[in-house]
Structure 1
Amino acid sequence: MRPSPRLLAALTVLPVALAACGGGGSSSTPAAPPSIADASADNRPVKSGGTLNVALNADPDALDPSISTTLVGREVFANLCEKLYDIDATSTLVPQLASALPEVSGDGKEVTIKLREGVKFNDGTAFDAEAVKKSLDRHRTWEKSARQADLAAVSKVAVVDPATVKLTLSQAFTPLTAQLADRAGMIMSPKALDASNDNFGASPVCVGPFKFASRTSGSQIALDKSTDYYDAAKVKLDHLVYKIIVDPNVRAANLKSGDVQVGDQLATTTVKGVQSDPNLTVVSGGGLGYYGITINTGNANGSIEKPGTVNTALAKSPELREAFELALDRDVINKTVYNGLYEPDCFPAPMDSPFRAAGLQCPKRDVAKAKQLVQASGVQTPIPVTLTTPNDATNIRLAQVIQQMTKEAGFNVSVQTAEFVSTLDQGKSGKFDVLLNGWSGRVDLDGNLTNLITSRGSNNYSGMSDPGIDDPIKQAAAESDQAKRAELYASAMKKAAEVRGVLYLYHNKYYLGMNKTVAGVQYFKDGLPRFVTAGFAA
């Protein structure tokens, strides 16, 4: 795909701010983004009733926990489909549909989960161990399921009694509870599964504070308060309507006009304007994930296939990949593209993750060294690189900055744009040179690594395959000692940093705009607004 005329026009004028790219370098200790209010600090009482309109920045994929792959889908699920476990405001794993944390055998291969009793799905069907088994087996064995890798260690799910399930594992897998705190732990109504078969996502039925009402593709998703919810007394809203508003400026404008009362994932360019409105407030969440540049080093036939030869200059030369990275200034990218509201970093571990070992350092920008590496490679300059980016304004802006920075080192980056979902398809199939993409992040670091940088991982778009990455990550997943896990992950991340299949740029915070009449919203580090206790201030 060729760049759009609009992009070509934009690339002819580079902003003054990029003058900072020519000198200096990224500090090894990134600056934290400005302080913004914490949603969980708003404990005002809320009144019963009303409809809350929430603007989403994209249309979710199928509302089927087994096959969903989008962050916006997870946002809807947070209020529609509860999981066996969840995280709280401190990112601690807590029971949700389970009644307690799992009981794990000494060898780590048997996991017993006690369930809440007296719970019903939103169609009135009883929630019990048989229902849990049916959903978990679907997640892990259905050929269309995107959860197979999440539950790959589970070899059997057995019903012990109506309120207990036992999972048998092929090997110890410490991140299992964290996996069950995401889509792999969402339990679906067995009645609805039997009735809908593969089309569950068209009318999903789970346990949740709200139940599915309707969906208009590309426009909105409507949920109604569930009368079957086990804690229905705490749910104040009658209706929750997600409106799909892709353009960030339109999303902010709708928030200011009152057409929506909540706007998700505000673009950093609109945060200040929303904050300045006396009727609005901005709260922050997220930080578990990352965004970066994926370089195709071995994804010749698809991410889950055996790595092959990719005939590009960057794929063939680790030294040129190093030069490409040394041409980048993460701090300047953060300031220029994101108004300083993100956290620059070169590793997939969140800055405050308990699994992040001390001493992980990011390289400073060094154009002189980058030029030396390019010259030593013997490849004729300028070296052509095709950078694929989602076609929204912010990603195009990031692509422009990367293009200008790397030009100084001897690279000629051409930018091609595509719809977001299309870029994911290109990533999976290996039909790209260099790709801008990210990951929303998981509370257990295994969720930011295993499928993304280990051999033949479904989201390992780079096609990296190195025992120095695979082995310590696998060992860490079977290790219960947190300090040892951190050491193993540090080893894997350092090796991945040498391979440079992914050049991590930053941890993206999420900014939620809200009308000041809205209270009781929970917004944690996973960036998923929870409206179970939300409503309009009394």
Structure 2
Amino acid sequence: MRPSPRLVAALAVLPLVLAACGGGGSSGTPAAPPSIADASADNRPVKAGGTLNVALSADPDALDPSISTTLVGREVFANMCEKLFDIDAQSSLVPQLASALPEVSGDGKEVTVKLREGVKFNDGTAFDAEAVKKSLDRHRTWEKSARQADLAAVSKVSVVDSTTVKLTLTQAFTPLTAQLADRAGMIMSPKALDANSDNFGASPVCVGPFKFASRTSGSQIVLEKAPDYYDAAKVKLDKLVYKIIVDPNVRAANLKSGDVQVGDNLATTTVKGVQSDPNLKVVSGGGLGYYGITINTGNADGSTEKPGTVNTALAKSPQLREAFELALDRDVINKTVYNGLHEVDCFPVPVDSPYRAKDLQCPARDLAKAKQLVQASGVQTPVPVTLTSPNDATNVRLAQVIQQMTKEAGFNVSVQTAEFVSTLEQGKSGKFDVLLNGWSGRVDPDGNLTNLITSRGSNNYSGMSDPGIDDPIKQAAAESDPAKRAELYAGALKKAAEVRGVLYLYHNKYYLGMSKNVAGVQYFKDGLPRFVTAGFTA
């Protein structure tokens, strides 16, 4: 169904208005999507030394792997806190601090992990099985930990010997290796944990090519080359300086001026301009995650608490939630807000995932039906909705497009903006009506689902709680057959699509701008720039 001429006319004005407010950025024809392979294939020789200045799109939350929840935090961790496992350029799971992929018992309830030998933390403390146990136990049992759901299947971590740990599970849990390839698998210095306890994030110490040096809140994070790193010879840079530059136009301008040599998460409206600069290039990553509209359906007292009653029109009426979705045109949103550079979808599992059923279909915009549902709901029109958005220019533009589209169906959306981290706090606490937010994505679909749409998950900001969602996701995690897992996930996703606690809009593509004299950057589908082999060309 085509959008109405009035809507197209209204949306056509938005990029011009916002460009005027934000200092420019939008251009005519969409940029050509860069290739993910571009970065990892650039293995030109680099010289030793130098400081790489990297622009981050937001200020990370606490640099504590147990409690961090942000993508920008994961970007910093990628160069400072290694994990038991990682992913490679093909999104395959590979050992990192482990020396091999795990050995799993026949019933799936015992997982043995062999560790690298001769490794030290960045404070010189020895890395061994005791240290691994200490971190894993903190991740899974500390009351403040956001990793509890990631490791919920683990009932016990045992030290077999200095280079071996055994994880005992309550049930088979196929996604465990993938979980240990993210923050749940980051191992922290036991010395630093003992010294700083709950305040570990103020001065984090892990195993990594770079070590934490300093942080100025809202301004920058400085990492220095780690002399104790087990593979220090391949690390060429002396220092990484992450500069917090929220405005996407300013990020692009800093790249062009040379004040930063790498800019993360380029706004899609600035990609073409960066690509056209002869001194710069753009590479892409991401695609595992998603962005969307979270509707508070039951998060009355916090995402990890028992769902309660939320007294908003959308929370109380499934009809209105359906109408709200049918008022949206995802293709138009992608073209208008993102220059067509994201991948439109209405489910949280990527289209090319082996765990994605082929029969999952997205609804097209149907304004007539949306209007009918609004009228049938019995709620006085226009229906009031408060939309909370991060305050960067791109999210504000998205919020205004949603506002305009849903107005035609009978909704009156008011937009409230806040700092990115503040919007996450509102999401966790349930102090919102509708929220723009996303998830950076994991290679195993469980990482996009369990903690986000099952009952009392820490990132289940909607407060959804339905056995039709919870049960098949739990069953899929215990299943090793990809086809059976895909079938179970399909059932859960169809039910979640009916509940509409989250209206997924697209799978994020991340665009990384960098100076052409920077090489050796690794950039994969998780969207995390790895600088372990990066440097400046000779």
TM-score w.r.t. length of structure 2: 0.93
Partners of 1:307 and 1:347 lie apart in 2 by 23
What is residue 423 of structure 1 aligned with on the other side?
A: 423
CA contact 1:3–1:415 (8 Å) conserved in 2: no
Deviation for aligned residue 1:36 = 6.9
Partners of 1:345 and 1:39 lie apart in 2 by 26
List per-residue Cα deviations over 1:145-187 (Å, max 9, x = no partner).
2211111111111100111000111111111111100111011
Partners of 2:418 and 2:487 lie apart in 1 by 39
Partners of 2:3 and 2:67 lie apart in 1 by 31
Deviation for aligned residue 1:37 = 6.1
Partners of 1:31 and 1:351 lie apart in 2 by 22
Deviation for aligned residue 1:390 = 1.3
CA contact 1:121–1:127 (8 Å) conserved in 2: yes
* Distance change >3 Å, CA 344–CA 26, structure 1 → 2: farther
Deviation for aligned residue 1:513 = 0.4
List per-residue Cα deviations over 1:422-446 (Å, max 9, x = no partner).
2112211222111111111111100
Q: Which consecutive unaligned segments of at least 5 residues does structure 1 have?
A: none
Q: Which moved more, 1:511-520 or 1:123-132?
A: 123-132
* Distance change >3 Å, CA 13–CA 535, structure 1 → 2: closer
* Distance change >3 Å, CA 202–CA 19, structure 1 → 2: closer
Instruction: State the secondary structure of the residue aligned to 2:221.
Output: strand
Q: Which consecutive unaligned segments of at least 5 residues does structure 2 have?
A: none
Deviation for aligned residue 1:311 = 2.0
* Distance change >3 Å, CA 158–CA 297, structure 1 → 2: same
CA contact 1:3–1:416 (8 Å) conserved in 2: no
What is residue 310 of structure 1 aligned with on the other side?
A: 310
CA contact 1:387–1:433 (8 Å) conserved in 2: yes
Aligned residues: 538
CA contact 1:33–1:342 (8 Å) conserved in 2: no
Instruction: State the secondary structure of the residue aligned to 1:140.
Output: helix
Partners of 1:258 and 1:347 lie apart in 2 by 39
Instruction: State the secondary structure of the residue aligned to 2:37.
Output: coil
Partners of 1:26 and 1:356 lie apart in 2 by 34
Deviation for aligned residue 1:369 = 1.2
CA contact 2:264–2:512 (8 Å) conserved in 1: yes
Deviation for aligned residue 1:5 = 28
CA contact 1:265–1:512 (8 Å) conserved in 2: yes
Q: Percent identity?
A: 91
What is residue 180 of structure 1 aligned with on the other side?
A: 180
Instruction: State the secondary structure of the residue aligned to 1:15.
Output: helix
Partners of 1:275 and 1:263 lie apart in 2 by 12
* Distance change >3 Å, CA 465–CA 163, structure 1 → 2: same
CA contact 1:303–1:456 (8 Å) conserved in 2: yes
Deviation for aligned residue 1:197 = 2.1
Partners of 1:3 and 1:211 lie apart in 2 by 52
Deviation for aligned residue 1:274 = 0.5
Partners of 1:291 and 1:400 lie apart in 2 by 16
Deviation for aligned residue 1:93 = 0.5
* Distance change >3 Å, CA 185–CA 405, structure 1 → 2: same
* Distance change >3 Å, CA 316–CA 518, structure 1 → 2: same
* Distance change >3 Å, CA 371–CA 256, structure 1 → 2: same
Deviation for aligned residue 1:330 = 0.2
Instruction: State the secondary structure of the residue aligned to 2:13.
Output: coil
What is residue 405 of structure 2 aligned with on the other side?
A: 405
Deviation for aligned residue 1:38 = 2.3
* Distance change >3 Å, CA 24–CA 86, structure 1 → 2: closer
Partners of 2:197 and 2:425 lie apart in 1 by 25
Q: Which moved more, 1:239-248 or 1:438-447?
A: 239-248
Deviation for aligned residue 1:384 = 1.3
What is residue 224 of structure 1 aligned with on the other side?
A: 224
* Distance change >3 Å, CA 49–CA 25, structure 1 → 2: closer
Deviation for aligned residue 1:251 = 1.1
Deviation for aligned residue 1:291 = 0.6
Partners of 2:207 and 2:75 lie apart in 1 by 15
* Distance change >3 Å, CA 214–CA 355, structure 1 → 2: same
Instruction: State the secondary structure of the residue aligned to 1:168.
Output: strand
Deviation for aligned residue 1:285 = 0.3
CA contact 2:296–2:463 (8 Å) conserved in 1: yes
Instruction: State the secondary structure of the residue aligned to 1:325.
Output: helix
Partners of 1:242 and 1:16 lie apart in 2 by 30
Deviation for aligned residue 1:3 = 27
Q: Which moved more, 1:429-438 or 1:330-339?
A: 429-438
Deviation for aligned residue 1:141 = 1.3
